A and B are shown apart, each in its own frame.
Chain A
Amino acid sequence: MSALQTLGDVVAVAFLLLGALLCLTAGIGLLRFPDVLTRMHAGTKPQVLGVLLIMVGGAIRLQGWSATWMLLLVAVFQMLTAPVSAHMVSRVAYRRRHVRRDRLLVDEQHTAGQDRLYRGDEPADAPPEEPATALAERVRENREDGTR
């Protein structure tokens, strides 16, 4: 019995260490990667694999059924919700042109002229896709603001 418990402890601690390592690499990836989409890959990785490892490790160590069920619930929630938020953020990121297009090998979703004029959250170095139209729209809007 005690040998089994020691084995369980070793496995649990190994899982916890691996999960913590994945969290560290997530931080490194967040800092090193060039744009929002690649950083999201770094961010979602511990959300899934790391959380799964840590939950399993914690469940082995805790030994109470109540805590085990709740950890299972956390893991299931993570697996259900992480793709949804990743999808929403990446969709908006692509449309608002946070993507470093020079770092893409292929871009089969190329959508020209989707957003001509931006105001709000775009990075400062993102040029408008149609500069002439954007300029005309900005001039017109400024004029409308003036007359109001």
Chain B
Amino acid sequence: MTSDPAPGPGSRLAHQLRHQLPLLVWLVAVWNLLWGTWSWANLLAGIVVALVVTWLLPLPPVVGGARLRPLGLLVFLGTFLADLVYSGAEVAWQTVRPSGIDRSAILRVQLRTDSDLLLTILSESVTLVPGSMVMDLDRERGVLVLHVLHVRDDDDVERQRASVLAQEERIVRAFGTDDEIAALSRAPGEPFPAAERRTP
């Protein structure tokens, strides 16, 4: 994160635009998809609607300082899809098999990232995969609380915890900055150094 000491009005506008641009592009894309056909009129109307929406309903800036790494993104998406199908089949089997499910578990996982965007992507993807669901996120300590549908024993619990941490690593390698990738090697449970804390 580079922060110049005295931002002038021009650079402030540029900074705001850089934060709002992904949101604007997304809103224009949604508008065009809703109409279903692409035309210049749709594009212009979409831009107007997106500007009005972001002006009337402003959001706190979240998307800041993210890097997109194509290779990491491919690995993340591939593993996510495979996980989705595999766990989906597993959960479907657990619902119909005669013995049903036995025990569930509620886990606390100490995470190593401290970025709003990455934590959002992580908890969305963990909840989307069937069989695990995020219940709570302690933002201050970076602890994720999740509910796991079916565990047999303590080994299973540890396996689930390791899979969440692996998922975190893939996400950081796909979207994170260099600092955040370096932070992965820090021992879990260690508090975040104040200098690295990213505030939007």
Contact = CB atoms under 8 A, between A and B. Distances in A.
Interface of A: 21-22, 25-26, 28-29, 32-33, 37-38, 40-42, 44-45, 48-49, 52, 65-67, 69-70, 72-73, 79-80, 82-83, 86-87, 90-91, 94, 99, 103-109
A109 B101 contact: no
Contacts of A52: 84
Interface string B151-180: 101100100000000000000000000000
A interface SS class = helix
A25 B105 contact: no
Given A80-B124, A82-B127, A90-B147, 7 more contacts: A21-B92, A26-B95, A33-B100, A41-B130, A49-B85, A94-B135, A103-B104
A112 to B, nearest CB: 14
B33 interface: yes
Interface of B: 30, 32-34, 36-37, 84-85, 88, 91-92, 95-96, 100-108, 123-124, 127-128, 130-131, 133-136, 145, 147, 149, 151, 153-154, 157
Contacts of B135: 37, 87, 90-91, 94, 109
Given A40-B133, A82-B127, A105 B104 contact: yes
A105 B151 contact: yes
Contact of B36 (A28, A37, A69, A94): A69
Contacts of B106: 94, 99, 104, 106-109
Q: 8 closest A-B pairs (Cβ-Cβ)?
A: A66-B36, A83-B127, A29-B95, A105-B103, A49-B88, A108-B108, A45-B130, A41-B149
A37 B133 contact: yes
A104 B145 contact: no
